[in-house]
Amino acid sequence: MDIVTHGVLTVDTERRITFFNEAAAAITGIRPHEAIGRKCDEILRADSCETDCLLAHAMTSGRPVRNVPTTITHGDGNRVSVGMDISLLKDGSGQVVGGLQRFHALGAVPGRFERMG
The pLDDT of residue 107 is: 67
Q: What is the pLDDT of residues 41-61, one digit of tens each?
A: 999 998 888 778 888 889 888
In a domain, 15, yes or no: yes
In a domain, 110, yes or no: no
Measured distance CA(63)–CA(48) in Å, rounded? 17
Q: From edge to edge, which strands make up the β-sheet containing 96-105?
A: 17-20, 7-12, 96-105, 79-90, 65-73
In a domain, 112, yes or no: no
Query: Looking at the 3D structure of the chain, how many domains does it have?
Result: 1
Which CATH number belongs to the domain containing residue 89 in this structure? 3.30.450.20
Q: Dihedral of CA 75/58/16/51: which sign? A: positive
If we measure between CA atoms, which residue out of 21, 7, 113, 28 comes closest to residue 74?
28
The pLDDT of residue 113 is: 39
The pLDDT of residue 112 is: 44
In a domain, 50, yes or no: yes
Domain encompassing residue 13? 7-105
